Amino acid sequence: MGDNRRMPPPSVPDAPHLPAAPPGKGRVLVVDDDRLVLATVTQGLSDAGYDVIDADNGDDAILLARRHRPELALLDIRMPGMTGFDVAETLRDKYGIPFMFLSAFADEQTLATVKALGALAYLVKPLEVGQIVPAVEAAFGRLRREGAAAAGPAAVARPAGDGPRPAATAAAPAADPLADPVPLAVGVLMHRFSLTRAQALQRLQRQAREQGLAPAQQAERVLVAVEQLSG
């Protein structure tokens, strides 16, 4: 009579335990048709701890936004095909993704469109990564404060899907991206007098001292003058 005892199944070694990746600060979509600017900003934000996806045109930006659902988009404005304004409108209306602009232009029409679209911020090129990262951090901080305030203690997690984010998160009114006139005036002076950013700021500060005004007041005067000339 044979041995009817069953042999134990062969043991399978446990899968090695991999440490969890440290959580990032947030996911950012960066869009710019200038490959050098795109690479520089993407690397800088990645080094600062953000999960970054990038695109060099508006069509790819929309596809990536749909697939990866970034928490914030940083958009150039003037690009071939879809402009940054076109991308921003789609991100806002279809996916509920907030955005900020990074552009070399500070004319009256551009600023009016930025404000109408509800951008979180408007940064005037050229800027160093060391200046962009704090602006992105400030935008994330504001978004999370608004999200916490809108959700309240009884917030329920919402599964990911293709629809836009809850209206409660996006309902808080956007801060006026044109509220600080100094960077806008610096951009105007840079383009009008072919100055570097530092030179333009020094010129603005010198004008303010000569007029006995605060830099922000002098910046407002510069912007008003530009609007009057444009009109």
Question: Which residue carries 């993407």 as its tokens?
Answer: 42
What pLDDT score was predicted for residue 224? 74
- Listed in sequence order, the residues at least 6 apart from 26 whose beta carbon sits closer than 8 Å to its beta carbon are 50, 51, 71, 72, 140
Q: What is the pLDDT of residue 50?
A: 95
Higher pLDDT, 51 or 9: 51
Structure confidence at residue 100 (pLDDT):
95
Which residues make up the CATH 3.40.50.2300 domain(s) of the chain? 27-151
Confidence of residue 221 (pLDDT cuts 50, 70, 90): confident
* pLDDT confidence bin for 15, thresholds 50/70/90: very low
- The whole-number pLDDT of residue 167 equals 35
In which band, very low, low, confident or very high, does the pLDDT at 38 lie, cut at 50, 70 and 90? very high
CATH code: domain 27-151 is 3.40.50.2300
- The whole-chain average pLDDT of the chain stands at 78
Q: What's residue 5's pLDDT? A: 55
- pLDDT of 84 over the 90 cut: yes
For the stretch 156-207, pLDDT in tens is: 444 444 444 443 333 344 555 556 777 777 777 776 777 777 787 888 888 8
> Can you tell me whether residue 208 is helix, strand or coil?
helix
CA distances in angstroms from 192 to 32, 106, 122, 188, listed in the order given: 24, 11, 19, 6
Question: Is 200 or 89 the better-scoring residue by pLDDT?
Answer: 89
The one-letter code for the residue type at 169 is: T
104-108, 112-116, 221-225: which has the highest mean pLDDT? 112-116
